[in-house]
A and B are shown apart, each in its own frame.
Chain A
Amino acid sequence: MIETIIRLCGWSAILFVFGIFFFVFKEGAPVLWDGLDLVQFFTSAKWAPTDDPPRFGIVGQIVGTLSVTVVSMAIAVPIGLGSAVYLSEFCPKQVRESLKIVIELLAAIPSIVWGFIAMMVLGPLITDLTGADSGVNILNGSLILALMSVPIMVSVGEDALKAVPDSYREAALALGASRWEIVSRVLFPAAKNGLLAAVLLGVGRAIGETMAVSMATGHATGLPKSILSPVQTLTATIAAELGECPQGEPHYRVLFLIGIVLFVIAFVINLTADVVVKGIRGQQHD
């Protein structure tokens, strides 16, 4: 009996994923055989869904999402993994406990609050320091996303490092390894999977995050010229326009198509992660 329930719980995940995909696809798909120009969809950066005739090009949004994600990861990965190493290896015990509490608090801040910080604090700071034309841009969005994903990376990364048996550290010490050598040659290879999972969770958050990013990046259509240009991300486009476009119209359906694109991106990232992790495991067994 209990075994059946537990089994059902496990299988339900698959059901949910396919269910979500099915419903998003069902809403978006009719526009595919209703004359949507797929070439324009994937190659044009002109997003003008209420023009006559409407133009649906999502290159601008794809570039927006990718640029914000890449820049935020460039900031967050070193900080996140660095903090994880510090917490698990170098930090005195009392300090670690209080630091962990603060970091968990950081992870609990709602994204709308981050968006508010982006607009009110980071925005003016960026214009003052860089002379950017407006405070809402790729850099602002990336900084906010970095701040949002660091806590997750730290918690998961620290757990991964903690899971490495102490015998590894002791053996390395006995061989005369320095602290840095222990971290880079012993702990990182041993905790590779967990650390990769930490980074990917961060990437997932960066791609999927909507509210804070939409407040920080400024919603500008087209291709950004520099890191200080405003952009529009895939998620922010859906959030800003779905509630206000007539149901069943091409514009509405195309927004669901964007949802499918996001789905595919997430799927590819997870798949890559799986392959990479398997690859690492394979090498270890050789």
Chain B
Amino acid sequence: MRFFGLRAAVLALAVVTVTFSACNSSKGTANKPGEPASAAPSEPAVETAGIKITGSDTMVNLAAAWQEAYKKNNPDVALQVSGGGSGVGIAALCSGTIDIATSSRPLKDAEREKAKINTGKTPVEFKVGLDALAIYVNKDNPIETISIPELAGIYGEGGTIDKWQDLGVDNKACPSGNIVRYSRQNSSGTYQYFKEAVIGEKGSYKDGAIQQGGSSDVVGAVTKNPCAIGYSGMGYRTPEVKLVPVSKEKGQPGVAPSSETALDGTYPISRPLFLYTLGEPEGNVKAFIDWCMGAEGQAVVEEVGYVANPKK
């Protein structure tokens, strides 16, 4: 208790020092987050220095990387990043509790309506890049290509493909020969998108797939299990897993997931990544989104493993 008190005192002293030095130096340089409000009135533009970003699990890595990079040049803007799933972010945006929702799927009409009813503002969409959903298998699996109908046969309700042999693959590393399906929990945007892109809008997943809580968990599980197959963002690849080239129809040559194939549309499972704001963004939020869409932000998109917007 005594120790804590001492710490608090030192901290308060430090804050006071910073406040004074901020007042002495030229305005608008050192408005640290958490600083007492007394210093703020002279700088109304940076007073609301926090930006809350919530949403897609797929985009948590990206948003965190943006946060890191943005902090270097804009130390006075505090970004709060959290995940939970696209649906969670959109729900929070619609009730007006956050500034930016990240989403790996476009907004539904019902959600636009809800935002309008709750807050009187229409959500505005920003496409910040593409995510190619890769099909992961164990590196000992000899499979060379897989088609969308085959994937539907593996993952979809009523699908009959349960063994590697059914795909014509002699997977010696897997003694039982069973295809062990890894999937995501049902609130995940990746789960929804994979279903729509592979099984079909009205389709449903086959029972018995092991559900993982996060994108990297799927890749981790596939790394260890020679019988496994899983789907996850291309950005989660590691040297210890294999990415299977995918074709639209059986018999066609498979296309490996990459920036080029996602951008030119030849890779069949890729999707846009969005940021949503309530109404046209202003002030800090606008500055941040402009930065994300600009050269620096887009470089981060590439770094994290996603596909940046095509250069104009």
Mark out the residues of chain B between 167 and 202 whose CB falls within 8 Å of any chain A CB in the assembled complex: 175-176, 178, 180, 185-188, 191-192, 201-202
Q: Are B208 and A52 in contact (CB under 8 A)?
A: no
Contacts of B221 in A (CB 8 A): 134
Contacts of A221 in B (CB 8 A): 205, 207-209, 211
For the complex, is B225 an interface residue (Cβ under 8 Å from A)?
yes
Inter-chain CA distance A44–B233, complex, in Å, is 32
| Other-chain residue from B84, B176, B187, B208 in contact with A222 (beta carbon distance below 8 A) | B208
Contacts of A46 in B (CB 8 A): 204, 207
Most chain A CB atoms below 10 A, which of B85, B204, B206: B204
Inter-chain CA distance A229–B185, complex, in Å, is 18
Closest chain B residue, CB of each to CB of A246: B91
Contacts of A220 in B (CB 8 A): 207-211
Inter-chain CA distance A222–B175, complex, in Å, is 24
Contacts of B178 in A (CB 8 A): 133
Mark out the residues of chain A between 182 and 238 whose CB falls within 8 Å of any chain B CB in the assembled complex: 218-223, 225, 229-230, 232
Contacts of B202 in A (CB 8 A): 52
Contact flag A48-B209 (CB < 8 Å), given A131-B176, A133-B227, A246-B87 = no
Q: Are B180 and A244 in contact (CB under 8 A)?
A: no
- Smallest CB separation, A45 vs chain B (Å): 7
Q: Are A229 and B205 in contact (CB under 8 A)?
A: no
Inter-chain CA distance A133–B221, complex, in Å, is 12
Contact flag A48-B186 (CB < 8 Å), given A131-B176, A134-B180, A244-B84 = yes
Q: Are B84 and A49 in contact (CB under 8 A)?
A: no
Q: CB-CB contacts of B210-231 with A at 8 A, as 1s and 0s?
A: 1111000000010011011000
Most chain A CB atoms below 10 A, which of B85, B88, B186, B208: B186
Contacts of A244 in B (CB 8 A): 84-85, 87-88, 185, 187-188
Contacts of B201 in A (CB 8 A): 52
Inter-chain CA distance A133–B226, complex, in Å, is 9
For the complex, is A108 an interface residue (Cβ under 8 Å from B)?
no
Contacts of B187 in A (CB 8 A): 50, 241, 244-245
Contact flag A49-B186 (CB < 8 Å), given A131-B175, A245-B87, A246-B91 = yes
A interface residues, tally (CB under 8 Å): 32
Contacts of A126 in B (CB 8 A): none
| Other-chain residue from A48, A131, A230, A243 in contact with B208 (beta carbon distance below 8 A) | A230
For the complex, is A28 an interface residue (Cβ under 8 Å from B)?
no
Contacts of B88 in A (CB 8 A): 243-244, 246
Q: Are A240 and B185 in contact (CB under 8 A)?
A: yes
For the complex, is A150 an interface residue (Cβ under 8 Å from B)?
no
Contacts of B185 in A (CB 8 A): 219, 240-241, 244
Q: Are A50 and B211 in contact (CB under 8 A)?
A: no
Inter-chain CA distance A136–B217, complex, in Å, is 13
Q: Are A241 and B186 in contact (CB under 8 A)?
A: yes
Mark out the residues of chain A between 121 and 161 whose CB falls within 8 Å of any chain B CB in the assembled complex: 124, 127, 131, 133-134, 136
Inter-chain CA distance A133–B224, complex, in Å, is 11
For the complex, is A51 an interface residue (Cβ under 8 Å from B)?
yes
Closest chain A residue, CB of each to CB of B111: A246
Q: Are A45 and B176 in contact (CB under 8 A)?
A: no
Contacts of A115 in B (CB 8 A): none
Inter-chain CA distance A111–B227, complex, in Å, is 29
Inter-chain CA distance A223–B227, complex, in Å, is 20
For the complex, is A60 an interface residue (Cβ under 8 Å from B)?
yes
Inter-chain CA distance A223–B207, complex, in Å, is 8
- Smallest CB separation, A256 vs chain B (Å): 16
Inter-chain CA distance A223–B187, complex, in Å, is 21
- Smallest CB separation, B266 vs chain A (Å): 29
| Other-chain residue from B85, B175, B204, B211 in contact with A51 (beta carbon distance below 8 A) | B204
Inter-chain CA distance A184–B255, complex, in Å, is 70
Contacts of B188 in A (CB 8 A): 244
Q: Are A230 and B84 in contact (CB under 8 A)?
A: no
Inter-chain CA distance A45–B91, complex, in Å, is 29
| Other-chain residue from A45, A50, A247 in contact with B192 (beta carbon distance below 8 A) | A50
Inter-chain CA distance A246–B90, complex, in Å, is 9
Closest chain A residue, CB of each to CB of B182: A134
- Smallest CB separation, B165 vs chain A (Å): 14
Q: CB-CB contacts of B68-91 with A at 8 A, as 1s and 0s?
A: 000000000000000011011001
- Smallest CB separation, B175 vs chain A (Å): 6
Contacts of A230 in B (CB 8 A): 208, 210
Inter-chain CA distance A243–B180, complex, in Å, is 27
Q: Are B205 and A134 in contact (CB under 8 A)?
A: no
Inter-chain CA distance A124–B223, complex, in Å, is 13
Contacts of A245 in B (CB 8 A): 87, 187
Q: What are the 7 tightest A-B residue pairs by CB atom distance, in nearest-first order? A: A222-B207, A244-B187, A219-B211, A218-B210, A50-B186, A246-B91, A133-B180
Q: A136-B210, A247-B91 given. 12 additional CB < 8 A pairs?
A: A45-B207, A55-B204, A131-B175, A134-B228, A218-B211, A219-B212, A220-B209, A221-B207, A222-B206, A229-B208, A232-B211, A244-B188
Chain A: residues with CB nearer than 8 A to chain B? Answer: 45-46, 48-52, 55, 60, 124, 127, 131, 133-134, 136, 218-223, 225, 229-230, 232, 240-241, 243-247
- 27 cross-chain CB contacts under 8 A: A46-B207, A48-B204, A50-B192, A52-B202, A55-B204, A131-B176, A133-B176, A133-B178, A133-B180, A134-B180, A134-B221, A218-B210, A220-B210, A221-B209, A222-B208, A230-B208, A232-B211, A240-B211, A240-B213, A241-B185, A244-B84, A244-B85, A244-B87, A244-B88, A244-B188, A246-B87, A246-B91
